[in-house]
Amino acid sequence: MDELHKTILAYIRREYIEEGDDRPLDVTTPLITGGIVDSFSMVSLKRFLETRYHIRIPDADAGPEAFDSVEKIAKLVERFAATTAKA
């Protein structure tokens, strides 16, 4: 697992999973449909990604499907990091 996946995974574990909640979590675990991150909390997760990686994710690209696993989120970050770098 690379640094990007590790960082996002650690953030989700820290911020969205209760201490003592022993549910397994890996990069493929469904986050939105699995009830770990709800649509309101997606706003703070998006804010974290934008702040941490100095990117801007348009709302149109930040739907529940795109945030449904660490793997998908990492792809989103890579996509917008590349766009930002080109700009």
Partner 1 sequence: MYVTETREEKQLANIGSYEERIRNFDWKIAEREMGFEPGDPVNLGWHLSDRICRSGLGRKRALIWEGSDGAERTYTFDDLRSLSNTVASFFWRLGVLPGERVCLFLDRVPELYIGFVGLLKLGAVVQPLFSAFGEESLLTRLADAGTAAIVTQRKHLPKVRRIREKVPHLHHVVVVDAAGLALREGETAFDLDAEPQSPGFPDFPATPETPSVLHYTSGTTGPPKGAQHVHGSLLAQYLTTKWVLDLKEDDVYWCNADPGWVTGTSYGIIGPWSNGTTQAVLDSGFSASRWYDFIARRRISVWYSAPTAIRLLMREGTDAARKYDLSSLRHLASVGEPLNPEAVHWSREAFGLPFHDTYWQTETGCIVISNYPGMPIKPGSMGRPFPGITAAILDPKSHVPVAETGRVGLIGLKPGWPSMIRGYWQNPEGYAKKFEKGWYVTGDRATRDADGYFWFVGRDDDVINTGGHLVGPFEVESALLEHPAVAESAAVAKPDPVNMEVVKAFVTLKKGFSPGPELELEIMNFVRKRLSPIAMPQEIAFVETLPRTRSGKILRRVLRAPEWGEPVGDLSTLMED
65/78 with CB nearer partner 1: 65
Which residue among 21, 28, 83, 84 contacts partner 1 (CB under 8 A)? 21
Burial of 77 (0-12, 13-18, 19+ CB in 10 A): buried
Binding mask 48-87 for partner 1 (x = CB under 8 A): x-xx--------x--xxx--x-------------------
Q: Which of 33, 82, 83, 84 binds partner 1 (CB under 8 A)?
A: 33
Secondary structure (3-state) at 77: helix
Cα–Cα distance, 56 to 43 (Å, whole number)? 13
CB of 46 to partner 1, least distance (A): 10
Among 2, 3, 40, 87, binds partner 1 (CB under 8 A): 40
8: which residues sit within 8 A by CB, 6+ positions away? 49, 70, 73, 74, 77
